[in-house]
Structure formats: structure tokens, C-alpha cells
Chain A
Amino acid sequence: MSRLIVTLIDYLRTRPMMLRGVCITLLGLIVLYDFMAVRHGDHFVGDRIRGFWALFGFIGCVGMTKFMKGLGYAFLMQPLDFYTSKERGED
């Protein structure tokens, strides 16, 4: 079982172009499916736009990453001994 998993992953990792092609095709099919899906739960304008959630997902992902990394570099990220160095000083 373990061998099979490793072989399969190795097979995919040695074919990045094929993997990329499959993923891009899948993304296309997902958006295409949205044009055919029966819609319900019309809560707001986004529910009426085809492909809206694809855009929401991509922008949300990029926006959240940039925002949090920005906050991290601005002040959130500190050296690992940020608390402990002070504690050592008190000991």
C-alpha cells in the first residue's frame, strides 16, 4: 500500500506539465459546470453571476495571503525568543 502511494506520487511529480494541463482543464470544466448547474438560494447578486465563486475564491485567496503576509512583515512576525529572552532576563 505504502509503496503504491509513493509510486503514484512520484509518477505525478515527474510529469509537471501533464499535471498542470489536467488542473487547468479541471478549472475550466468547473466554471463550465456553473453555467449548467440549476441555481437556488438566491441570496444576493453573486448568486446570479456565472463563475462568481471562482473569482471570489481566487481574489479571496490572493487578498488574504497578501494582507496577512503584509501584517506579518509589518509587526506580527517577531524573533522566536521574543518572549523567552525577556523571561530569561528576569530569572
Chain B
Amino acid sequence: MEFMHPAIIMIIGAVLAAALKGTPRKLVVLAAPLAAFLVVAFGMEPGTYGVINYCGFELVTAKVDTLSLVFLHVFTLMAFIGAVFSLHIEDGSQHAAGFLYVAGSLGTTLAGDYLTLFIFWELMAFASTFLVWARREPKAIKAGYRYLLMHTAGGLVLLGGIFLRYKSVGHLEFGPLNPAEADLSIYLIMIGFALNAAVVPLHAWLPDAYPEATVTGAVFMCAFTTKTAIYVLARGFAGFEILAIMGAIMTLYGVGYAVIENDGRRILAYHIVSQVGYMVCGIGIGTELALNGAVAHAYAHILYKALLFMGVGSVLYMTGTAKLNELGGLYKRMPLTAVFTIIGGIAISGFPLTSGFVSKSMIIAGAGDNHQLLLMLMLILASVGTFLSVGIKLPYFIFFGEDKGVEANDPPLNMLIGMGIAAFFCFFIGIYPDWLYDKLPFAVTYHPYSQYHLSETMQLLGFTALGFYVLRKLMQPKDKLNLDLDWFYRKAIDKVMALLRNPLEPINEWVGDLYKIVGYRFALGVAATSSVFDRVVIDGIVDGLAYKILGVGEKVRHTQTGKLQQYIAMATAAFFMVVALMAAF
């Protein structure tokens, strides 16, 4: 069977979506992700495709196996749901940016080598920035720049790791890495990946940028960047214990902030940090059960988190705000949005019969079976915080609580259908988990619907709800900004600059004055002396040498072939040499 790269479908879709208008564009917006999904679901067999020899490198543009297939499946499904949700958008550039972003994610997932991976990785970063900028508000523009800078920095660290790895192993193949052989190159690659996975302390770009993105842009963004990072971590870094620890910390860090946040989409953004933490932890634990759990959780998470972003995004779209302190009682005016958001909330909280119940518990069981008790308890505590902040607090203060009288209606039909599809999968996976389990990289022997697991879950959820009821006055959201680690590059850098400026500026002026008095006269003296030396000694030698160089230049001119490919090859070789020299020292 001919192999069709799904990223190409999305890139063609992006071009057409930008070029066309009206109904033809709507058809393209729906057809491109649907075609990509059908190709992945029915037309893709494990194997290696699209091998290109470029400048002596063997680039594998498509390596298909069970791990990449399951991620491609959910990515293309999500792209279709996102397309349905954003169908009403008239701005073609937003569709194009969204599709290029998806193409980057699909290309990364299929990449069999680090160079292909890096190219698509950067495509993701740049395309997604436009989803933030497309909101066209000063706050969003600034947040977009910060987002882009952070991802560029992460990309450079990744690239440095890739070059060092090439130097040490002599190839660019992307595959599982051995924790026992971890060196600087592997850790640099891990840091590059970890930044996109929003691993604390490299996470602050996420709650900074996602809440500033467009309503539909955030729905795309919440699905792809972090989960593509989870895919590459799962492929390369399974069993790296540091990830298990960092992941468990992320789960609590994210929900901690979600408890005190006021902006609905920022609550959800912090929750991505928390939920991705489960996956990072599962990858770090590295057993078959934990890895299966991480992949299953990524699948389930993409759908219910997108549903939540669609629900809260619809509120923002219809009312102009997503701040909890300004909302309340919206169930009367947005009842369907309320139901869909609550479905997302109970799915993320892991209610029985929802997708969260059958995926999250695999990772927790993976930690328990691996005798990592502390990690297990941290993950369970985070699930308490999840239900508290997203399962109860978020829908309560938006749709129930005190009615603030904000005018609203349920959003347009396409947005409701998008939410409906995601809500369907939240229940479908929960009721029929084997559909998901059959796609996982390892055979599944885990059964989520045991009596004890049901009992444990219902106790945790029920008594968390009781806790919220007792503390409902304390839980009242406050319209404040919560400091996070972005303080370092948004505030502390100013202080460092001010500190440097104060002692440096007077010193600079003093040196300048000193030069005017002493240095200028001294320089004039030296210049007069050296001009005599130049005329007598140097000119004689240089003139002779210059004629020789002209001759060599004439010869070099003939080696210029004018072929772009060779120039790029030479430039790449020169770049590699510089990096290799830097590495050698």
C-alpha cells in the first residue's frame, strides 16, 4: 500500500484554508483532518517509510509502530474535533496556523530521526505562536512573544543535544535511550522535550500563553504541544527515574495553582501541567503497565481537556470573560455548555464510566506495583485536587453559584457538535476501555472495574466534594494574579538589569572621560609613529602578498558551482564542524 504522510494532508489543508473563502474553505477545514484521521485509522501499517538520503544523513520521515499509531490516532481525531469547533471562524490564517501546528505534531510523531523531528518540532512552536497572536490583543501579543522565546530556547537546547549525540554515536536515529548510558547530550535532549511537556520548573510558558490564545486556538494548543512531548519522552526516555519524580511533582504543582486561580482557562492550563505530570511519571516509572497508562492517559486527556477548553472557551466567546468572579448562574442561559463542561470535569476527575477512570488508574497502579508508594500517594492526592478544582470549583462558579446576570446563550451549533463528539468519547472510552487498550503499545492485563478500585475512587471523589462543601466560602475565587516561575523572566530580569546598570554606567562614563584626556593624545602619538612603520615596512610586504591572494581567489572562483544543494551541504558541514569543535573543547 502507498504510504501517505498525514502531515502533508494537513499542510495542503492549511494552504487551501488560507487561500479559499466561504463554503469551499469550510469543506477543506473539515475534509483535511478527516482525511488525515482516515489515513491513520485505516491506511497505516507498521513499518518505515519515506527514507531520504540528504547530505549523507539518512532521514526517516515516517516510522510507524504501535506507539506512534496510537498518538497519531488521537491527534488526527482531535484535529477533526477542533476543526468542527472552529468551523465558524472567518479568519483563514487561524485555520492555516492550526493545521500547520497539527502537521508539526504529526511529523514529529512519525519522525524516525532527530533532524526530521527537530524540523517538525519547530514548525509546531512557530505555528502555535500564531494561535496566540491571532487574538490580536496587546496581552496576547506579549504572551505570544514570551511563548515563542521560551520554545526557541528549548529548541536550541534540543538541537545542542542532537549535535552532541551525533558526535558521540555517529547517527541521528531516534529511539529508546538507556538511562545507564545517559550523558550530557541525552540530558540536553531531555530538557528540550521536557520544556514542551511543561515539566516544572520549565512550565511557566503554558499557563502564561494558553489563556491568552484565541478561543479555538487554545483548544488546539491544549492537545498537541504537551502530548507530542509525551510521545517523544515515551519513545526515548522510558525508565528515566528523574521523570517519575518530576512528574509526580508536576501533578501536585498544577492542581495547587488550579485551586487558587480565578481565570477559567488558566485553571485548565495549570491542570494540563498536572495531568501531563501523570504521564511523565508513568514514563519515568517505565514498566509496561505504567507506560501503557501514560499513553492511555494521553489519549483520554486530549479529549476531555479539549472538551473543557471548548466549554470554558464557549463561555468566553459568548460572555467576553472566563473569570470565575465575574460569572455564575450560567446554567440557565448556557445549559448545553454546562452539561458538556461538567462531563469534561467528571472525566478528568476519573469518575467511573468515564475515560479518566480507565486511564489515570493505570499509572497509579503502575507506581503501586513498582513499590513507589510516595509517588502513588502524590498522584492520588493530585486526583483529589483535580476533582476539587476542575470537577467542582470550575463548573460551580461558572454555571451555578450566585447568578451575576451575565447575558449569554449556548454557542453556535458547530461549537456544540465539537463538544458533543469529545463528550461522546469521554463516555465511550470509560464504558468500553478495551477499544483504547487494544491500541496501546503493550498487551493490557489491567482491569479498571474492580470492586476495590470503584470503592477507592468513590470515597476519594465523594469526600473531596464534602471538603468543597465545608470550605465553599474559602474557595471563593479572587481576581488576582498568581506569581509563578515566569516571574524570573518577566520581573527578576529587570532587577538584574537595573543592578548591572547602576555600577556599570558610572564606570563607563569615567572610562570615557579618562580616554578623552589621556587616551586621545596617546593614540595620536602612536598613530604618527605607526604610520611611518606602515609606509616603510608593511606596505612592501602586503603589496607583494596581495597579488598572490588575487591569484588564489581567481582559482577559488572556479570551484563555485552555483548549485544550492552543495552550498547548503557545505554550510551544514561548516556548522557541524563549529559545533564539533565547541564540543571537543
Contacts and interface: CB of A to CB of B under 8 A. Distances in A.
B522 interface: no
Interface string B401-442: 000000000100000000000000000000000000000000
Interface of B: 139, 142, 255-257, 259-260, 331-332, 335-336, 338-339, 365, 368-369, 371, 373, 376, 380-381, 384-385, 388, 400, 410, 450-452, 454-456, 458-468, 470-471, 474-475, 478-483, 490-491, 494
A27 B462 contact: yes
10 contacts: A6-B331, A27-B466, A44-B373, A51-B459, A54-B462, A56-B380, A58-B466, A60-B385, A72-B480, A77-B483
A86 interface: yes
Interface in A35-59: 36-41, 43-44, 47, 51-58
Contact of B474 (A1, A10, A65): A65
Nearest to A60: B384
Interface of A: 1-2, 5-6, 9-10, 13, 23, 26-27, 30-31, 33-34, 36-41, 43-44, 47, 51-58, 60-62, 64-69, 71-72, 75-80, 82-84, 86-87, 90
Contacts, number: 162
B339 A79 contact: no
A30 B467 contact: no
Main secondary structure of the interface of A (DSSP, over half): helix
Q: Which 6 pairs across A and B sit closest by C-beta, in order of nearness?
A: A61-B467, A57-B463, A53-B459, A37-B451, A57-B460, A77-B480
A71 B530 CA distance: 68
Contact of B458 (A33, A56, A65): A33
A83 B491 contact: yes
A1 B413 CA distance: 14
A17 to B, nearest CB: 14
Contacts of A65: 259, 388, 467, 471, 474-475
B461 A78 contact: no
A15 B302 CA distance: 37
A23 B392 CA distance: 14
Given A43-B371, A60-B467, A86-B494, 12 more contacts: A5-B335, A26-B462, A27-B462, A31-B459, A56-B380, A56-B384, A56-B460, A61-B468, A62-B467, A62-B470, A76-B482, A78-B481
